[in-house]
């Protein structure tokens, strides 16, 4: 288990937990939480806890075969467990369909992980990224992407060690964080209380080379200026730089075990 916490910075009294504007909530990874998965980690990000598990099938979706698309594929499934929120959340299986929010998030997770993998080097395989939210306090989609990358890295390392993969298909890292404008202040890594009262809410997904994979932002019954947009991008980039350090610490801990 790796327990990686952010460096203490001057507190910002306006935040519920006293964090500075760009400071992340305490974050740690517990690797190999799901023994039957090829790679897995439990990301505890403040009071948001998500299990990210990777399983690999030696086949590709039918549409790839029909269209003659070579290489492999990465896809994701996302769900919030019934007890992850204060009031019980009904399972999608009980409702008979996946709700729109879950579909949007799992597509985002899949896009984020595919963006940093050479699918040709992956070979004729399908990689499943399963993200199950145990406890939600804001940022479940960003935690799923950030933890999903660690689980994927562990899974690929396992395949390479076994000789199933000769070339590393992962090109670079990926992580995500929420940013927003709360009481006219730009903040990173919003907890639920901040997210629910934000004038602007944004999710940033970035690679370790500093490139954007996705920017999801909207005013919540409000608008935002170009200066605020630039400020949110800068704030998010600062926070994601720290996330890459924490991810790498979790991965490197395996080499020392």
SS (HEC) of the chain: CECCCCCCCCCCCCCCCCCCCCCCCCEEEEECCCCCCCEEEEEEECCEEEEEEEEEECCCCHHHHHHCCCCCEEEEEEEECHHHCCCCCCCHHHHCCCCHHHHHHHHHHHHHHHCCECHHHHCCCEEEEEEEEEECCCCHHHHHHHHHHHHHHHHHHHHHHCCCCCCCCECCCEEEEEEEEECCEEEECCCHHHHHCCCEEEEEEEECCCCEEEEEEEECCCCCCHHHHHHHHHHHHHHHHHHHHHHHHHHHHHHHC
Domain membership of residue 242 (yes or no) is yes
Alpha carbon distance 127, 15 (integer Å):
39
- What is the number of domains present in the chain? 1
142 neighbors 177 (Cβ within 8 angstroms): yes
The one-digit pLDDT tens for each residue of the chain (257 residues) are 545 444 434 444 468 889 999 999 999 999 999 999 999 999 999 999 999 999 999 999 999 999 999 999 999 999 988 889 888 888 777 777 778 888 999 999 999 999 999 999 999 999 999 999 999 999 999 999 999 999 999 999 999 999 999 999 999 999 999 999 999 899 999 999 999 999 999 999 999 999 999 999 999 888 999 999 999 999 999 999 999 999 999 999 887 65
Q: What is the pLDDT of residue 1?
A: 55
The CATH number of the domain holding residue 219 is 3.30.230.70
Alpha carbon distance 160, 97 (integer Å):
37
Domain membership of residue 70 (yes or no) is yes
Domain membership of residue 18 (yes or no) is no
- The distance between the two most distant Cα atoms of the chain, rounded to a whole number of Å, is 57
Domain membership of residue 4 (yes or no) is no
Q: What is the pLDDT of residue 217?
A: 93
Q: What is the pLDDT of residue 256?
A: 65
- Only one residue has tokens 């075990």, namely 257
Domain membership of residue 174 (yes or no) is yes
Domain membership of residue 57 (yes or no) is yes
Provide the whole-model pTM.
0.91
Domain membership of residue 8 (yes or no) is no
Q: Which domain range does residue 80 map to? A: 27-256
Domain membership of residue 166 (yes or no) is yes
Q: What is the pLDDT of residue 98?
A: 78
């Amino acid at each position: 288990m790796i327990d990686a916490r952010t460096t203490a910075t001057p507190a910002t009294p306006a935040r519920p937990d006293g964090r500075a504007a760009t400071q992340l909530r305490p974050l740690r990874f517990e690797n190999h939480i799901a023994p039957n998965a090829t790679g897995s980690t439990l990301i505890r990000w403040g009071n948001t806890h998500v299990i990210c598990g990777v399983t690999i099938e030696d086949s590709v979706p039918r549409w790839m075969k029909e269209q003659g698309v070579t290489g492999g594929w990465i896809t994701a499934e996302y769900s919030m467990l019934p007890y992850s929120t204060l009031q019980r959340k009904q399972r999608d299986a009980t409702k008979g369909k996946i709700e729109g929010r879950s579909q949007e998030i799992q597509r985002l997770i899949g896009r984020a992980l595919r963006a940093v993998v050479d699918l040709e080097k992956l070979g004729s395989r399908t990689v499943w990224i399963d993200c199950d939210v145990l406890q939600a306090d804001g940022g479940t989609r960003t935690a799923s992407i950030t933890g999903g990358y660690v689980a994927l890295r562990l899974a690929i390392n396992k395949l390479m060690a076994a000789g199933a993969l000769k070339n590393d298909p992962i090109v670079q890292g990926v992580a995500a964080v929420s940013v927003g404008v709360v009481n006219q202040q730009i903040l990173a890594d919003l907890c639920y209380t901040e997210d629910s009262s934000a004038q602007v809410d944004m999710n940033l997904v970035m690679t370790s080379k500093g490139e954007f994979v996705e920017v999801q932002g909207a005013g919540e019954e409000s608008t935002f200026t170009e200066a605020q947009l630039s400020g949110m991008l800068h704030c998010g980039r600062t926070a994601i730089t720290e996330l890459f350090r924490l991810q790498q610490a979790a991965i490197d801990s395996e080499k020392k075990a």
